[in-house]
Amino acid sequence: MGSQTNTGAAGSSGLALESRATRFAIVAFVLTGVVTIFVFHGTHAPLAGEGSVGALAAWAAGGFAAVAFATSFTIETRRGHAAWRARLPLVKRLIDVFGMSMAMGILAYLIVTAVAQLFQQGFLGMTVDAYGGGVLSGAAAAALVYAASLAGARVTSEGLAMLATLVLFMGTMASMLSAPDESWWQLHFSQLGNSESMSGYRFNLSLMVTGLVLTVLANYLGRDFEIGMRMRGHEPARLVRLLSWLFACIGVLLAIVGLVPDAVNFAVHVGSASGMVVLFVVYATVALRRLPGVPKDFGGFTVGIVVGIAVSILLWIPIGYYNLTGMEFIAAGLLFAWLMVFVRMATVYGGERLSESRRAAAGGADVSSSGFEGGSGARLDA
């Protein structure tokens, strides 16, 4: 989830990370292959669909990828990588690991499912025996576990933003393609989550996990801003605390949108979705107005995004060019486009690629990241 040349140089060497990822991949290959052979022994199974090799491989890849991510992240944290996270409350750290690991597991599951469906379409009617299926499923699990292990070892702001975007996008696409109600788009995206089928559960879970990842990203963005402000001679505590809470609340509201579908409680669902947009405007305004040294070009980009969202709403009501689904699609696309650019800007703002000596001169690499910390600096209860 980012370059291995990350902030806070402590942790295992690059070769050690590769070695661990390879070991995890081998274990995943063997275990998944053995289980596949056992389950499909004496039969021929399709590549995708219910009761297929791809379905089993997707579950195995998702589970093993989540474990590999969490294990690698925990090991590297204990070895001093991202030491600033030690100042966060234990509960927050545990929730962060759970959220990131779940997101990686879901992403691995969706990737394997999509690839299996693609190959099944390319090889219509093809089936494989237990041993061939074991090799295929083992290889799929190994590839995703290898990537998850490396991602967990070097988590960055940019990596978290990409993870959140991919989980939400692929989860939504998978739900769209498998929705039992083919006319769902005539209403709104929330209709996908109203179904009690696997499609609905997949959509809602993607929203909840993406929300959790955004709460983790709030810490990493706060750390980038704190380092950047100290480098520029400003006291960061209050502003970083405010920005961290605002961004985390956006993630919490997104999780609530998935937790409480439209059909369960309309007021809570719509209120949370609307609240995300309001908080986004507040967050962007505060960041642009109070962060010293933010490029004016980014300010112009942000204004353009806000204008784009406003226009997308007007095209829905009162113009009536498209329905609510179209407006949601455009607004969400604009928001996540802004998120990716914003996170990139924050990474550069915090001197992600400065030398350790320059970072030490700016106040040290292991500074607190946000208002979630439990120690000194920007505190929750301050």
pLDDT digits (tens, 9 = 90+) for 151-205: 998 888 899 999 999 999 998 888 888 877 777 777 777 888 787 778 888 888 9
| Pair 119, 48: CB distance under 8 Å | yes
pLDDT category at 87 given cuts 50, 70, 90 is: confident
Pairwise CA distance, residues 302 & 342, whole Å: 9
Question: How far is CA 11 from each of CA 72, 75, 81, rounded to the nearest angstrom?
Answer: 11, 9, 5
Q: 10 Å Cβ neighbour count for 374? A: 16
Which pLDDT value is given to residue 2?
A: 52
Predicted pLDDT of residue 1: 62
Q: Which residue has the tokens 């810490």?
A: 219
Average pLDDT over residues 234-254: 88
Q: Where are the domains of the chain?
A: 1-155, 188-382
pLDDT of 10: 67
Contact 107, 170 (CB under 8 A): yes
The mean predicted confidence, pLDDT, of the chain is 84
* Contact yes or no for 362/230 (Cβ under 8 A): yes
Do residues 331 and 315 lie in contact, with contact meaning Cβ atoms separated by under 8 Å?
Answer: no
What region, left, alpha or beta, does residue 224 occupy, with left being phi > 0 and alpha being psi -120 to 50 degrees? alpha
Helices (H) and strands (E) in the chain, counts: 12, 2
Provide the β-strand partners of residue 45.
128
Task: Write out the two tokens for 68.
Answer: 């590999």
- The continuous run of DSSP H or E covering 192 comes out as helix 190-194
Across 308-331, average pLDDT: 87
Instruction: Characterize the bridge pairing of strands 44-46 and 127-129.
Output: antiparallel
**DSSP assignment letter at 350:** T
Residue 362's SS3 state is: coil
% of the chain beyond a pLDDT of 70: 89
HEC string of 273-334?
HHHHHHHHHHHHHHHHHHCCCCCHHHHHHHHHHHHHHHHHHHHHCCCCCCCHHHHHHHHHHH
- In the structure encoding, which two tokens stand for residue 230, read together? 């100290």
- Min mean pLDDT across 46-55, 282-291, 296-305, 350-359 is at 350-359
- Which pLDDT band, with edges at 50, 70 and 90, does 295 fall under? confident
pLDDT tops 70 at residue 104: yes
Could you give the CA distance from residue 343 to residue 224 in angstroms, rounded to a whole number?
9
- 358-375 mean pLDDT: 42
pTM: 0.84
Please report which residue ranges of 79-156 form alpha helices under DSSP H. Answer: 90-122, 130-153
Closest CA to 45 of 174, 141, 142, 132: 132
Report the alpha-carbon distance of residue 60 to residue 33 in Å, rounded: 10
H/E run at residue 378: none
Of 127, 120, 113, give the one whose Cα is nearest residue 45. Answer: 127
How many angstroms separate the CA atoms of 261 and 195, rounded?
Answer: 9
| Contact call for residues 168 and 18 (beta carbons, < 8 A) | no
